């Protein structure tokens, strides 16, 4: 579990950075800078996937149910944004980020905080 503590601290530190990235994506979209927004979205998606991968052994060890961790909804929404971009529906991107991805990310972050913080405090 000691190695997991360092991973957990890194994850908890990375979550605000990802949230800032999502906020910046929204700003770029409002400025019609679609290419830059997509590049940052891909980086954000890789960060979330890395967190998910690193969490698997920690979650299993803690006895939490991974289905409750809200990974899938967030990943599906992010994939939908990429699809919107690829199909030329850039005008819908900002709304999708605002109405879906940001709330789902916040729910995911809150769930991670709920599960992970007690592990590092114990």
pLDDT in tens, 49-70: 899 888 888 876 766 665 556 7
Contacts of 117 (CB under 8 A, 6+ apart): 12
Assign residue 46 the CATH number of its domain. 1.20.120
CA distance 66 to 78: 19
69 DSSP assignment: G
Structural domains counted in the chain: 1
Mean pLDDT score of the chain: 86
Structure pTM?
0.85
Residue 117 near residue 6 (C-beta atoms within 8 A)? no
- What pLDDT score does 105 carry? 94
* Overall average pLDDT of the 90-109 stretch: 90
Residues 5-21: pLDDT tens digits? 889 999 999 999 999 99
- What pLDDT score does 109 carry? 92
Residue 22 near residue 101 (C-beta atoms within 8 A)? yes
Range of the domain at 78: 2-121
């Amino acid at each position: 579990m000691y190695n997991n503590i360092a991973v957990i601290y890194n994850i908890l530190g990375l979550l605000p950075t990802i949230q800032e990235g999502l906020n910046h994506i929204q700003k770029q979209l409002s400025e019609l800078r679609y290419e830059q927004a997509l590049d940052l979205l891909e980086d954000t998606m890789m960060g979330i996937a890395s967190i998910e991968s690193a969490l698997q052994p920690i979650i299993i060890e803690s006895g939490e149910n991974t289905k409750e961790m809200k990974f899938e909804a967030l990943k599906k929404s992010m994939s939908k944004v990429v699809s919107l971009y690829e199909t030329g529906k850039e005008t819908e991107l900002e709304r999708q980020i605002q109405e879906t991805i940001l709330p789902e990310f916040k729910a995911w972050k809150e769930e991670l905080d709920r599960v992970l913080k007690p592990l590092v405090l114990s």
